[in-house]
Amino acid sequence: MNQFPRFLAFLLAALGVAVLLVACGAHAPPPDPLAAYRPAFRSESLPSDFDVDAAPRYDIELSVDPRARKVEGVARIHFQNRSGRPMNDLYVRLYPNLPQLQGTMRLTGVSTLPGNYAAGYAYQNNNTTARITLTEPLPPGATIGVEITYNVEAPDRSGYVLFGASEGILNLPYSYPILAAQTTEGTQQTTEGTQRDPTSPWRLDVPPPHGDIAIADPSFFTITATVPSGITLVASGVEITQTQGISDTVQHHLVAGPDREWTMTVSPSFQKASLDVDGIRVNSYFLPQDANAGHSALADAAAAVRVYNRLFAPYPYTKLDIVESPTRYLGMEYPGLNYIGLDTYRDQSGSQEVLVAHEVAHQWWNGLVNSDPFRYPWLDEGLAEHSSLLFIEMIHGPAAAERMRSLRWQVPVDWAVKNGYDAPAGSEVTAFDGTNYEILVYAKSALFFDALYQALGRDKYLEVLRTFIARYRFKTPTPADFLAVVSEVGGIDPQPIYQKWILSGPKHPSPKPSE
């Protein structure tokens, strides 16, 4: 047997392995830190300068007892000190303790990972915040993990129920400790009210009953949620697998992000219908007695996704859930999941379509472009409102849009001006009350965007919105950032329109007329 070819073959094989090893060493891509979460979002939606290290990561194991309306969980939160200073305290929000939500949330243990920063904790802001104190300061830019065990109890209520059980549906948003948002200028809640605090990065705003609840930074989540068999779990993100748990339970393994909030709802009665639109799975969950409206909600949501995909930018997630919810005629937006009030399923007046269009628009104006719901609530509410007019205009024509403009926005704003409820729409959330918040923050600011729409024309206006998204995806722009895009891309000075609709109005609402 000729040994040479065999030797050559061996040599070539060895060289081949060496070449492969070199190739692996020189060109192996670094591990993708977001690999686990990619099933939940569309990679092209993430800007190239997205700061992966700055996004908090949550790893949560929780179990839901729907009958007792209880959640027990352990949350591991990894985050970076972005304050630029050594950090002695960190804050998590316990929103179920808000009076308007009527629930309770307690921490039962807090430790840090690794354990060299032993921590204590104390409740503050009427138990809506826990301050976790580190025994050694965390250096700027360093990351830390904190492990929190907790439990939540949700109420059984009637009327408007954002959090809790009603009509066979159990809404459980905010059912985990939410790391307070870190910004360049934090907020403290004092006996005087909400105060800016330039010495702290933490946003500790306590929301008034009429505004949005939470403010948090875009984050990534892995969740294992254990629920009894036969209970439908609807949650932000996508389910990767399901396993059988003990005592007739099912464990749902989910990933989500980049989301400011993770949310879930459970029901023993939910039915589901789905559609695929532009590669996005749109699901509608509804009670059996509302099946017709549940299918309508699905069709409206799918149409809205299709319209906004074309008008604004591609929807950032791989899934959108539309969930019938005991929020009466109102809805609520969460990343990839919208609550739609069940009264709109039972009302024959067509209120559901506009509500779905508004809530789905929030996936762009609040989900994709984050906004500050306490300092500038008008920015995403006005954009979501006006986007629903663009949707109605595309689906039903200009006459329907004109009716919406007049009846939904102009008439209520005229009423507010005449009856002493007018105020600058651009105020912080605490400047409003339950009477004028919706009229001014939704309708009056929608008229601001509509005035821009008329002044710029449709094509330029849409170009402004697309540029605003391209520049501020998963960032939190201010009104000044938006106005700068209007000047630059729209080529007009937006100040007169901004003054008229957003800044003008009595500084303090007039005394309410006595009735």
> Which residue number, 200 or 366, has a Cβ lying nearer to Zn ion?
366
The smaller minimum CB distance to Zn ion, of residues 130 and 307, is found at: 307
The nearest distance, CB 391 to Zn ion, in angstroms, is 14
What beta strand segments (E) does 209-336 contain? 219-228, 232-235, 238-245, 249-259, 264-267, 271-277, 280-286, 319-325, 331-334
Evaluate whether 89 touches 134 at the Cβ level (below 8 Å). yes
Nearer to Zn ion, 217 or 381 (CB): 381
Q: Which is nearer to Zn ion, 270 or 378 (CB)?
A: 378
The rounded distance, in Å, linking the Cα atoms of 124 and 141 is 26
Q: Which is nearer to Zn ion, 306 or 358 (CB)?
A: 358
Neighbouring C-beta atoms of residue 208, cutoff 10 Å: 20
State the minimum distance, in angstroms, from the CB of residue 356 to Zn ion. 12
Is the CB of 167 or the CB of 438 nearer to Zn ion? 438
- Kindly state the smallest distance separating residue 160's Cβ from Zn ion, in Å: 15
What is the smallest separation between the CB atom of 358 and Zn ion, expressed in angstroms?
6
| Backbone angles phi and psi of 109, in degrees to 5 | -175, 140
Phi, psi of 401 (to 5 degrees): -65, -40
The Cα–Cα gap between 33 and 222 comes to 13
Residue 83 or 366: the one with the smaller Cβ distance to Zn ion is 366
CB of 369 to Zn ion, least distance (A): 14
Q: Least distance in Å: CB of 441 to Zn ion?
A: 9
* CB closer to Zn ion out of 60 and 413: 413
CB neighbour class for 64 (10 Å; exposed up to 12, middle 13-18, buried from 19) = buried
Find the shortest distance in angstroms from Cβ 28 to Zn ion: 45
In angstroms, the CA 309 to CA 119 distance is: 46
Of 56 and 173, nearer to Zn ion (C-beta) is 173
What residue has token string 């506009």?
354
DSSP state of 430: G
Q: Counting beta carbons within 10 angstroms of the beta carbon of residue 133, is it exposed (0 to 12), middle (13 to 18) or buried (19 or more)? A: middle
> Would you say 277 or 330 has its CB closer to Zn ion?
330
Assigned token pair, 365: 């104006």
CB of 207 to Zn ion, least distance (A): 14
Task: Indicate the residue among 360 and 464 with the shorter CB distance to Zn ion.
Answer: 360
Phi and psi at residue 10, to the nearest 5°: -65, -45
* Residue 145 host element (H or E): strand 143-153
Q: Least distance from C-beta 334 to Zn ion, angstroms? A: 12
Residues that bind Zn ion (CB under 5 A): 381, 384
Helix (H) or strand (E) holding 73: strand 70-80
Distances (CA, A) of 139 to 74, 76, 187, 509: 26, 20, 21, 45
Nearer Cβ to Zn ion, position 64 or 333? 333
> What are residue 228's phi and psi, to 5 degrees?
-60, 150
Structure tokens at 463: 């170009």
Report the distance separating Cα 111 and Cα 289, nearest Å.
Answer: 47
Look at residues 102, 221, 90 and name the one whose alpha carbon lies nearest to residue 159. 102
CA distances from 209 to 35, 101, 160, 195, 255 (A): 39, 9, 12, 18, 31
Q: How far is the CB of 384 from Zn ion (least distance, A)?
A: 5
In the complex, residue closest to Zn ion by CB:
384
Minimum separation from the CB atom of position 436 to Zn ion (A): 16
Pair 219, 257: CB distance under 8 Å: yes
Residue 408 CB, nearest approach to Zn ion (Å): 13
β-sheet bridge partners, residue 272: 285
Q: Please, what is the minimum distance in Å from the beta carbon of residue 72 to Zn ion?
A: 31
Instruction: Name the percent of the chain in helix, strand, coil, to the closest 5.
Output: 35, 30, 35
Q: Left (φ > 0), alpha (ψ -120 to 50) or beta: where does 457 sit?
A: left
Q: Compare residues 162 and 455 and give the one whose CB is closer to Zn ion.
A: 162
CB atoms within 10 A of CB 328: 14
Question: What would you report as the CA-atom Rg of the chain, rounded to the nearest whole angstrom?
Answer: 25
